[in-house]
Structure 1
Amino acid sequence: MPRLIPFLTVFGLLPLSMAQEGQTTSLGEFIEQRCSKCHGVEDPEGDLNLVALENEGLGENRDKWLLVAEELSLQVMPPHPEPKPARSEYLAMLAILKDSLGDEVPELSTPVTHAPFSALRRRTVREIAGAILALTDIETPVDALPMEAGLHVYDVVGAGMTLDAAWLDRWLSLADSVSREAIRLPEPDRIPHVQASGRKLSSPRKSGGRLSTQGTAHLTHEFPRDGDYTLRGKAWAQQAGTRHAWVALTLDGKRIEELQITGEGPDSAITMTVHMRVTKGPHQVGVAFLNDYFQPKEEDLRERDRNVIVEQVSIDGPSDPQPPTSFQTELLLQAGEGDESQAQLGTAMTILADRAWQEAPRAADIQRLLELVQEEPSPQARLRLGLAAVLASPRFLLVGEVGEPGTPLSGPALATRLALFLWGSLPDEQLLQYARNDTLQETDVLEREVERMLQDPRARGLAAGFVPQWLQIVRLKNHEPSKELFPEYDAQLREAMLAEPVELFHSILQEGLPARDLVRADWTMINQQLAGHYGLPATGRSKETERYSLTETVRRGILGHGAILTASSDPGRTSPVLRGKWVLEALLGDAPPPPAPDTSPLDLSAPADRGLSMRERLKLHRTEPGCASCHVAMDPLGFALERFDAVGRTRVGKVDEQGTLPDGTQLDGPLGLSKMLTSDARFLPHLTRSLATYAVGRPLNSEDLDTLERAMKKVPEPDPPLRTLVRTIVLSDLFRRQPRDTPNQDQ
C-alpha cells in the first residue's frame, strides 16, 4: 500500500479537506479541459506549452509554474469568452501547485461571480463493491470500509460521505488486496511452511499435544487458496496394554491417514505425511489418538495408561503453479498475448484505466502508471500494482462532474449516473459507446437503454440499494428482539426478512406491474424458512426464494413483511407508535415533527399505566400538550398492523387493530391499511421523489420537485407500472442535467 502514496500525489488526489467537499480534479485534467486550446502542443500562445510542462512534472520549470499560479490566483485564465472554472477548481489547482512549489504560490483572490454546481461525490461502499465486481469479476469484502452515514435517508447523498485520512488508508489497503486477488503472480521459489509445536496445539483438555484420552490435537490454519499442500503430523507414544497406540492425521476431523506407533518414547516418534488438495479458507489439521487404554488397578505402573504425545503439526504449500484469473487472462489477451514488453504493459494499463474510469486515459496518465510500477520484479507484479493504482485514483473513487447550472451532463457522466442508479455498478460497453458517441442524451436512445438495462440481471442492484433505505430496514441489522420471547429469531431468519422486500420490488419492476402493488400485492417472494415463520404451507420445492400466495392471509405487499414489522417494534413488544410513524415517514412522506423537548416519553412500564391496554396508555399519553396532533395521525396507522407481533408473525384471536384517521377514514387491520394506502394521493408522489433522490444522489430542491412533477403529469396511466416511474425519472431534466440551484441541504 505505501507504494501507492507517490502515485496519489503525482496523480492529483487533492488534500483531503478539498476531497471531502467533492471538489477535486487532477492538474492534467484541468490543463486539458481549460488550457490546452491556447497552451497546447501546436503553436502555444506566449510560447507556453502547458501540456508539455505538465508531462515533465512540477519539479521542472519552476518559474513558469509560478507564473501559471499567479494567473490562476487572479482568475484571469482562461480568458473571456471561455467559461470560467468554479472557485473550487481554482482552489484545487492552487493547492496542487502549492504542494510542489511551496509558499511562493499565491492565495486565491476575490471570489468569482458565479459558482457552478459540483455533482462530484465519492462512490458508496456498495457502489465500490459493484464496480470492482464489474471490473474484475471479484466479489469484494468491503466490511473494512466504514459505511456511509446515510444523511437524507440515502447513502448516495454526498453530505453523508467521508474521504478522510482513515477512510483513504483503509481504501488503499482494500485496493491492494483486490489487485492481489485479481492478478496472480508465479509461485515464489520458497514454498510457504507453517509449523506448530505440541504445546501450541489445541486439544480437548487444553493439554497441548499430550493426549491422555482419545481426541485430537490440532492447528487451525487459513489456507490462502485452493491448491496442493503437504500435511504432516509427528507423534510418539507411551505404550500400555497388549496393543500398540494408533494415531491418525486429520483434516477438519476426518482421518486422512492412520498409522501404528510400534515403539515407545520420543526416539520412536513417527511422522505421517499426506499430499493432498485443500480448498481455500480455515481448516483444522491435527493428530488424533484412536485407541486409548487405561487400567488404574494394573500393578505395573508402565502398563496402566497408554498415551500419545504430538510433537508437531506442519503444513507446506501451496506447491502447485497458480493459474491466472479469468480477468487476468482476458486482460493480457487484449493487450497482446505472449508479449511481456513495456508496450503490452502500457496497453493493459490503458484498458484497465479506460474501464475503471469510464473515460479514455491520457498518454501522460499511462506514463505515470508505468513509472510507478517500473521497479516491480515481473510483468505480472507491475500489472498488479498498476491495477491497485487505477483503483486508488480519484477518477475511480469520485463520480459526477462539475458543470454550469442547468447544463446537460456529458455522455460519460450520464452513463455513470444511469449505471449507478439501475445497477449500482459500472456502465457496460454498449452504454459507454453511446456516451462516447454523444448520442446517449437523445431521448429515444436513452429510453431504449433504460429498458435494456432493466431487463438485465444487474437491475437487481436498484432494488438492493434503494429498498432497504427507503423502507428504513437497514436498522434491522442492529435490532435484537427478545431471545426469551422470540427464540426462533436468528441471523438466518433476519437475512430472509431483509431479502423479502428487495425481491418483491425487483419482481414488480421486472414484470411491469403497478407501483401500488408494493402495498397491495397478495403474493410475496420468500424462502421456506420465512414462509414457515409466517405460517404458510411449505411448497416442498426449494429452499431458495420463490413466489408464495397470500390470498388466504391478511398480509398485503410490504405491510406484511417481517423486516418492516420487526424493525418498527420494540425488542419485546409491538409499537403502534413506531409503526404508525414509519407509515407516515417511509410511505407517505409526511413525517411527524420530533416531540417537544419537554414532552414526557411514553413509558409502558410505569406503575400508573399497569392494567391499561395499549390503546388506553396511548390515549393517556395524548393528554399531554403537544402530543395529540401527531399521535392522532400515527396511532391509527400503527394499530392497523397490530395483527402482527414483534417479529412479524400473525397473531390469532382477538386483536385491537381498528382505528380512525383524522379525516374520518376507518381502518380495520392490515387489509384496511392496504386499501387506504393504495388510494392515498401521497403514496406515488413520495415514492417517485424517493427514487429520484436516490437516482441523482442529492436532496431535491424546489426546482427539482417542479421538474419531477411536470414529468409525472405526462404519465398516461392512472395506475402506472413501477418501471414507468423509473423511466420517467431517467428521461427528465432532473436526471439528465445539472441542477439550476444548489440543493437544499436542510431539506
Structure 2
Amino acid sequence: MPLLPVLLPQSATRNPRALARRLLSGLIVAASMGAIEVSAQMRAEIVPSFVEAHCVRCHNATDLEGGLDLEAFRFQADDPDNFSRWVKMHDRVEAGEMPPASNSKRRHVAPEDRSAFVRSLADILTDAEKSRVAREGRAVQRRLNRYEYENALRDLLNLPWVRLKDRLPPDGEAHRFNKVGTALDVSHVQMARYLSSADYALRQALSQRFAGQSTTTQRYYARDEPSLVRNFWPRQGSTLTDRHAFPVLDGHAQPEVRAGRAPITESSTREREAVGKISSTFSDAGGYRWSKFRAPVGGHYTLRFKGYTLWASGGGVSRWFFNGVGDAKTPVYWLPLWHRPNLDEIWPGRRAEPIGVFGQSGGQGRFLGTFDFGPEPGVHEINVVLQPNEVIQTDGSRLFRTRVNGTNEQYINPLAQPDGMPGYAVQWMEVEGPFEDPASPESGYAVLFEDLPLREIAAGKSAVTLSVVATEAVENGDRPGWGTPAPVDVAVEVVSNDPTADARRLLRSFLDRAYRRPANPDHYEQFVGLFERQYGLGYGFAQSMISAYTAVLASPGFLFVEEAPGLLDDYAIATRLALFLWNSTPDAELRALAADGQLRDPEVLRTQTNRLIDDPRSRRFVDAFTDYWLDLRKFDDTSPSATLYNDYELDDPLKQASIFETQLFVQELLRADLPARNVVDSEFTFLNERLAAHYDVPGIAGAKMRKVTLPAESVRGGLLTQASVLKVTANGTTTSPVIRGNWITERILGYQTPPPPPVPAVEPDIRGAVTIRQQLEKHRADASCASCHARMDPPGFALESFDVMGGWRDRYRAIDEQVEAIEGLGMNGQKFAYHFGLPVDSAGELPDGSPFADVTDFKALLLQHEETIARNLARQLTIYATGAPVLFSDRPSIESILQRAAAHDYGMRTLVHEIVQSDLFQSK
C-alpha cells in the first residue's frame, strides 16, 4: 500500500534552475554548519536535478498543483516542520505516488533515477537527524505519567490497592501515547496534586500499620443485612415487587417472613436461609450490599459466597397502570402481570446466573470479579485487593435493571415468561484476610520507618492524623447488631530516640529507592534539612518525616525519568524496562543488577525481560498499552443511542466483557509469543457467555472469560472485529467508514493521515434515505478529499457489517416509521422499537485494485502484508517503550528488529525482546 500524501508549504518557482539553486543552498548551508556531510555529486546533481526535472513543472507558483509552491522551500535540518516535510517528500517518491505516472506534464521517471533520489535524500535526512540526536538524544526528558505515578507509589510503599491516578490531571498525548516528554508538561496544579497524592499514600502506609490486622475469617449472613431485609416489605402503595428482596429457605418462598409475621432468622434454619432477588443493580435498591463488612485495611482478601439460582412464579392478572393523581388519573399502560413476580411462589432455578462482585467506597462500584450461581447451592471463591473501608456488593448482572419511570412504575421484566422469571438467592459471604503480599513482604511502613514503634497519642501539632476503620460496629438506632464499622480519626506518632540520626538513615534508604539510582548527596541534604526545619518548628517526628517524604515524591528525581544523551547507564535501563513492562519503578532485583553493572549483558537483559513479562504486573503494560494504542480508555466516551440502540442500554456485562476480551487477547499475544498477524485475524479469542451470544458463537456458558477457538465460519478473530474496537470507532448512534478506516490505517497498518481539508464532514443519515457509501461517493468527487478517502474508506466499508457495539448487521437501523418496527425490551425494563433501513454493503477495493466482498476477504488481503502489520506493531511498542517517536533515522533499526523477529513469525514477545536489545531502547 502506498504511503500517505505529502503536505508541503505553498511556495513554488517559475524558474526550475532557481529552485535547484535554492535547494542546493539549503543543503550546502546545512553541511557547512556541521549538520550533515553531503557528497559533491549529491549536492550538485541528484536531489536538485530530480526536483527540477520531475517536481517543479507542476508544483510552481503558476500551477500550484495540490496547493504546493516550492520556490522558498529550503532544507533546514533544525526546523522540525521543515524536516518532516522533506521526510514526506521522500516517502511519497519512494512509494511511487510522486511523480504520478498518469500526468502528461511529467517526464517518465526511470527507476534508477527514483532510487538515486530516494537514497540521496535519505542519506541527507539521516545524517542531519543523527547529528541532532547525538547532541540532544532521541527523547526529551519526561515525567512519569499518571499510570506510572500510581504504580510507582503502589510498589514503593507496597500499597497495591491505593488509587492515585484519578487524583492527578489528565496527561497530554503525543504520537498517540501518554509516554512522550513533549506532551508531559508540569503545571502548578499538577505539583499541588502530586503533593496531596503523596501525602495521602504515605498516611495510608501508616494507617495500614496502625490497624495491624491479622488474617481472620468472618462469615456474614444475608439475613443480617439491613439494606436487604428492609426490602422484604413493600413500601405503602408500591407495586414494584421486582425491586424487593425476599426471604428464601431451601430454595422456596417464606410468605410468613415476607409478610412480617415470622422472624427474619432463626438459629435452627440459619445455614439454610437465603435472600432472593430477581433484578440487577440500578441504584442503591438493587443488588446485595454487604454493609456489615468494611475492609479494615487495604490488602489482599479471599471472598467466598454461597447461593443458588431460583425461579419466581408470574404475578397473574393483567391490569392498567395510571398516570396522574386523584380524579385526573387516566389509564396509560396495559401490563400483563405475568411479567411481575409472585414472591410467595419460588422454585429451583433453571440455569446458572452470573454474579458480579464489586467494591464500593463512595461513588461508582469497582469491579472485583465474577462467578456463576447454579441451581444447586454452592460456594464460590474469588481473590481480591480491597481498599480500606470498602464495602462488597454482589449483583445478578444478567438480570434486568429495574427503575421507576416517573411515578408510574411502568416497566416489564424482559426475561419473564408466562410461568415466571429467573432470579438468584445468596446465603452468606465469607471474608478471609488480609493476607501478606507474597511478592512484597516488606510493608510500606517498614520502607518509611523500619521497625520504629508507632503509638497513638493525643491530637495536636506533633501528631499525624489518620483515618482508620473502627473495629467495633456503630449501632443503628433501635436495631442492635445492625450497625456497620465506620472510619474514625486517630492521632499517632512514630517513636524515635534519636530523631536526627533516624531521619538521616531513613531518608538515605528511601531516596535511593525513590530516585531509582544512588541519589545526589546535595539532594539528600536538602531533604534532611526540610525534616530538621519541620521538627524544629514543633512538628513531631512522623509529621516531619512525612513532609520530607512528600517532597521526595514530588521532586524531579522521582517525577522525572533521568536519561542522558547517548547510551543509557544500567540504572536508566532498569528504569526504562520497568516503565515499559510494569508501568512502574524498578524492583529490588533490577536495582541490584544495575548497581552491579550487569544489565548491559544481553543474556541478563533477556532474562529480566522474560521475568517482567511473566510477572502479574505485566498486565499493567497490557492495559495501558491497549488504552492508548487501541483507544480502550475512550470506551465510555459515548453511549448507545436511546433511539436506535436501546437494546444495548445498561448492558454493562457486554461492555465489561468487550474490554476484557481485547486486554486478554493482547496479553495472550505477549505471553505465548504469537505472530503479529493475529492482530488482523486469529483462530481464537476470549469470550464469556454474554459476549459469545453477541458474536453468535455457540456452546459458551458462564460469566468467566476463557480462551475460545472460533468456529471456522466466524467473522471474528483479530482486533478489527472485537466489540471494544468497533465501539470506540463509533459514536453510539452511527458508524462511519471514514473513522473506522482511518483507525485501521493508522493503528494497524501504521499510515498517518493528514488533517482533513476545510470541507464539510460527512454525517451518516439516520433517517435511512441514503447509505453512507452513497454520501461518500459524492464527497470523494472533491479532489482535495479523494486521495485520502481512497485509502481510508475501503477498510471502513469492510467493517460496515458491524453496528455501534460490534454486533453483526445486514441492514442499517434508521428512524423511518414507514417501515415496520422491531420491538423489544431493554435491560431497564422499558419497551423499545427501531426500524430497519437500507442494506449494508461491505464490499470495497484497496488502492492497489484488490477487491474484497466482506470483512473476511479484507482480512485475507491484509494478511498478504504481514510485515506491514509487524512493522506497525514494532513501531507502536518502540514509542511506548522509549517515550519517543520513531524518527526517520530510526527506520533502519526498526527494519533490523523485524529481520531478527521474522524467524519467530514476528511474535509479540520476540518483538519486545528485540526492541529491548536494540540501541533504540538502550539509548536516549
TM tier, smaller: 0.5 to 0.7
Distance 1:514 1:213 in 2: 63
Q: 1:531 to 1:352 in 2, by over 3 A?
A: farther
Aligned to 2:707: 547
After TM superposition, the score normalised by the length of structure 1 is 0.62
Instruction: Kindly report which structure 2 residues correspond to 1:97-116, keeping only aligned pairs within 5 A, or say none.
Output: 115-116=135-136
1:688 shift after superposition: 0.8
Instruction: Kindly report which structure 2 residues correspond to 1:672-691, keeping only aligned pairs within 5 A, or say none.
Output: 672-680=857-865, 681-691=867-877
Counterpart contact for 1:471–1:564, Cα < 8 Å: yes
Q: Work out which of the residue numbers 776, 779, 783 in structure 2 matches 1:621.
A: 779
Provide, for residues 633-688 of structure 1, a one-character-per-residue CA deviation record: whole Å limited to 9, x for no partner: 22221121122111111225774222121212122322222222222242111111
Aligned to 1:721: 907
2:120 matched to 1:132? no
Counterpart contact for 1:185–1:381, Cα < 8 Å: no
Counterpart contact for 1:179–1:385, Cα < 8 Å: no
Aligned Cα root-mean-square deviation (Å): 3.7
Provide, for residues 597-648 of structure 1, a one-character-per-residue CA deviation record: whole Å limited to 9, x for no partner: 2x232244499xx733332222222222322222222222112112211111
Counterpart contact for 1:556–1:671, Cα < 8 Å: no
2:189 matched to 1:166? yes
Counterpart contact for 2:675–2:904, Cα < 8 Å: no
Aligned to 1:65: none
Provide, for residues 288-315 of structure 1, a one-character-per-residue CA deviation record: whole Å limited to 9, x for no partner: xxxxxxxxxxxxxxxxxxxxxxxxxxxx
1:332 shift after superposition: 6.6
2:762 matched to 1:602? yes
Aligned to 1:327: 443
Aligned to 1:530: 691
Distance 1:548 1:182 in 2: 42
Counterpart contact for 1:223–1:280, Cα < 8 Å: no
AA at the equivalent of 2:847: P
Instruction: Kindly report which structure 2 residues correspond to 1:447-596, keeping only aligned pairs within 5 A, or say none.
Output: 447-487=606-646, 488-490=648-650, 493-537=654-698, 539-541=700-702, 543-551=703-711, 552-596=713-757
Instruction: Kindly report which structure 2 residues correspond to 1:18-33, keeping only aligned pairs within 5 A, or say none.
Output: none
Counterpart contact for 2:156–2:444, Cα < 8 Å: no
Q: 1:411 to 1:580 in 2, by over 3 A?
A: same
Aligned residues with identical type, % of pairs: 30
Counterpart contact for 2:676–2:869, Cα < 8 Å: no
Q: Work out which of the residue numbers 383, 389, 412 in structure 2 matches 1:280.
A: 389
Aligned to 1:743: none
1:134 shift after superposition: 1.0
Distance 2:904 2:442 in 1: 49
Aligned to 1:311: none
Distance 2:727 2:632 in 1: 9
Counterpart contact for 1:579–1:638, Cα < 8 Å: yes
Instruction: Kindly report which structure 2 residues correspond to 1:402-413, keeping only aligned pairs within 5 A, or say none.
Output: 402-403=564-565, 407-413=566-572
Instruction: Kindly report which structure 2 residues correspond to 1:135-150, keeping only aligned pairs within 5 A, or say none.
Output: 135-138=156-159, 139-150=162-173
Distance 1:645 1:212 in 2: 44
Provide, for residues 218-240 of structure 1, a one-character-per-residue CA deviation record: whole Å limited to 9, x for no partner: 9xxx9998569xxxxxxxxxxxx
Counterpart contact for 1:223–1:279, Cα < 8 Å: no
1:333 shift after superposition: 7.9
AA at the equivalent of 1:730: V
Q: 1:227 to 1:158 in 2, by over 3 A?
A: closer
Distance 1:605 1:643 in 2: 16
1:581 shift after superposition: 1.3
Counterpart contact for 1:119–1:402, Cα < 8 Å: no
Distance 1:676 1:224 in 2: 56
Counterpart contact for 2:295–2:391, Cα < 8 Å: no
Q: 1:398 to 1:665 in 2, by over 3 A?
A: same
SS of the equivalent of 1:521 reads coil
Distance 2:919 2:706 in 1: 38
2:531 matched to 1:341? no
Provide, for residues 30-51 of structure 1, a one-character-per-residue CA deviation record: whole Å limited to 9, x for no partner: xxxxxxxxxxxxxxxxxxxxxx
Aligned to 1:656: 841
2:549 matched to 1:390? no
Distance 2:788 2:520 in 1: 58
SS of the equivalent of 2:901 reads coil
AA at the equivalent of 1:648: G
AA at the equivalent of 1:572: T
Counterpart contact for 2:496–2:541, Cα < 8 Å: no
Distance 1:581 1:129 in 2: 33
Provide, for residues 176-207 of structure 1, a one-character-per-residue CA deviation record: whole Å limited to 9, x for no partner: 1111111239989xxxxxxxxxxxxxxxxxxx
Provide, for residues 50-86 of structure 1, a one-character-per-residue CA deviation record: whole Å limited to 9, x for no partner: xxxxxxxxxxxxxxxxxxxxxxxxxxxxxxxxxxxxx
Distance 1:485 1:665 in 2: 34
Instruction: Kindly report which structure 2 residues correspond to 1:362-373, keeping only aligned pairs within 5 A, or say none.
Output: 362=520, 364-373=522-531
Aligned to 1:633: 791
Provide, for residues 705-729 of structure 1, a one-character-per-residue CA deviation record: whole Å limited to 9, x for no partner: 2222233323341622111111111
Distance 1:223 1:364 in 2: 52
Distance 2:637 2:296 in 1: 38
AA at the equivalent of 2:195: L
Counterpart contact for 1:335–1:344, Cα < 8 Å: no
Distance 1:718 1:445 in 2: 21
1:335 shift after superposition: 5.8
Q: Work out which of the residue numbers 845, 851, 866 in structure 2 matches 1:666.
A: 851
SS of the equivalent of 1:520 reads coil
Q: 1:340 to 1:417 in 2, by over 3 A?
A: farther
AA at the equivalent of 2:922: R
Q: 1:181 to 1:492 in 2, by over 3 A?
A: farther
Distance 1:116 1:661 in 2: 41
Aligned to 2:199: 176
Counterpart contact for 2:675–2:906, Cα < 8 Å: yes
Q: Looking at secondary structure, tell me which structure has more strand per residue.
A: 2
Distance 1:469 1:555 in 2: 22
Distance 1:180 1:444 in 2: 41
AA at the equivalent of 1:131: A
AA at the equivalent of 2:584: S
1:362 shift after superposition: 4.8
SS of the equivalent of 1:626 reads helix
AA at the equivalent of 2:750: G
Counterpart contact for 1:183–1:384, Cα < 8 Å: no
Provide, for residues 424-451 of structure 1, a one-character-per-residue CA deviation record: whole Å limited to 9, x for no partner: 0111111111111112112222122112
Structure 1 unmatched runs, 5+: 1-111, 189-210, 229-251, 253-277, 284-322, 739-747
Moved more, 474-483 or 505-514: 474-483
Equivalences, count: 507
AA at the equivalent of 1:122: R
Distance 1:372 1:451 in 2: 41
After TM superposition, the score normalised by the length of structure 2 is 0.50
Distance 1:186 1:377 in 2: 21
2:156 matched to 1:156? no
1:556 shift after superposition: 1.5
Q: Work out which of the residue numbers 558, 572, 575 in structure 2 matches 1:416.
A: 575
Counterpart contact for 2:194–2:553, Cα < 8 Å: no
Distance 1:586 1:498 in 2: 17
Counterpart contact for 2:874–2:911, Cα < 8 Å: yes
Structure 2 unmatched runs, 5+: 1-131, 212-234, 239-283, 285-290, 298-360, 362-386, 393-435, 454-494, 812-838
Q: 1:163 to 1:538 in 2, by over 3 A?
A: farther
AA at the equivalent of 2:734: R
Distance 1:436 1:570 in 2: 51
Distance 1:415 1:623 in 2: 54
Q: 1:226 to 1:603 in 2, by over 3 A?
A: closer
Counterpart contact for 2:507–2:524, Cα < 8 Å: yes
